[in-house]
Structure formats: structure tokens, C-alpha cells
Amino acid sequence: MHYFTVILALGLCACSQASDVSDVQAPVTHLEAQGNLESKHALGCITLAEAKNQYTPADLFPAIAACVKENKLAQAADLYILARSYGGFDTMRVTDRTAHQAVSVLQMQAFSGFPEDTGKKMHEAIKAQFGNATEHSRICATLRQLGAPDYPPTYMLQHGMEAFRSGDGSSKALAEDFNAENAWNEVLTSIGKCSD
């Protein structure tokens, strides 16, 4: 019983002191590595046919947002599938797991200013593209024609902790002996739902 009283007294003491501490504003430092989530191409609302394999998800998500603003949801859905495919590929070749959230952060940034129902509308548009055999076939053919990403995934590398751990401020956390062809085929199957 005495032990419980001492623990309770210490807990109450800590709580009363915590209220005094909450009034203190600690300085917050925001650190960001150069190249983190950086877009290199300002695209606007492009079609999937206009896309290039040099466009990163950091380029594509703002393009998706532009298409949504123009109410071109089918175009936005096409670009979303491409952005997620390229992001999936990059996740396979970037070994710094802390960097893998880059694509999700880009998606959140792209849709942050839209009404709440935008996510549902996009989900329906993507579902419609996958559900329409002609559209899905066109998307898969375009993904195959574009091929795997042809860019260094700096936007993702610089998003992870390895960018801060390296001496020069840049991450080099890429998989050794990475088989791009196998990875791209896996992405086509898992994300694009493209069969042979």
C-alpha cells in the first residue's frame, strides 16, 4: 500500500510540473535535404501519351492535381497509375526504407488543397480505368512503351535519413546489382495489373 502511495504521489508531482513545462516553447528545427521531393519538370495536365520515363512521381503528382483542377479525372487516373508505378519501381531500387514514404507524401501534397470528396472521385476514376478493358489495355501498352524510369530517384533518396547520415548530404542508397527489367515487369503486374 505504501509503495502505491509513493508511485501515485510521484505521478501527481510529475503531472503538476508538466503543466509548467507546457508553457515553454522549445525551438523546432526543420531539416530538409537538397533534392527532397524535388520536381524537375513543370508539366501541367498532360496525357499519358505525352508522359516520358524521365518524369518522376515528384513531376507527375502536380500534373495529376492539374488534371483534377480541370476536371479531367480519367487523365488524372492514367497519370496516377504511372506515378504509382514509377514510385513502386523506385521503392524497389532505393534501399533506404525511410525514403519509401516519399510517394505517399507527394500524393498528400498534391491533394491537400482539394475538397474531401476528391479522393473518392479519384478512386472511382482509377477503378473505371482498370474496369474498362480497352482503357486498361491502352494504359498497359503505354506503360510498356514508356518502360522503366530513366532518372536517378533523387526525389526519394533525399527524402530518407541516409541523406543526413552521409558526409556530403546526399544519399547513395541504391540497390547493388538491381535488375531493372525484372523490377519493371513486377511493377507492371502488381501495380499496373498488366498481364503478358
| 23 pLDDT above the threshold of 90 | no
Residue 180 lies in a domain: yes
Instruction: Give the pLDDT confidence score for residue 51 in this predicted structure.
Output: 97
In a domain, 35, yes or no: no
Give residue 189's pLDDT. 95
Note whether residue 165 is domain-resident: yes
Q: What is the reported pLDDT for 170?
A: 64
Q: Which residue in 173, 170, 189 sits closest to 100, CA to CA?
A: 173
Q: Assess if residue 161 is contained within a domain.
A: yes
Residue 24 lies in a domain: no
Residue 11 clears pLDDT 50, i.e. is over it: no
| Domain housing 78 | 48-190
Find the helix or strand (DSSP H, E) in which 160 lies.
Answer: none
pTM of the shown model = 0.80
Query: What nine digits make up the cell of 191?
Result: 501495380
Tally of domains in the chain:
1
pLDDT for the residue 158 = 80
Residue 20 or 74, more confident: 74
Q: Is residue 98 part of a domain?
A: yes
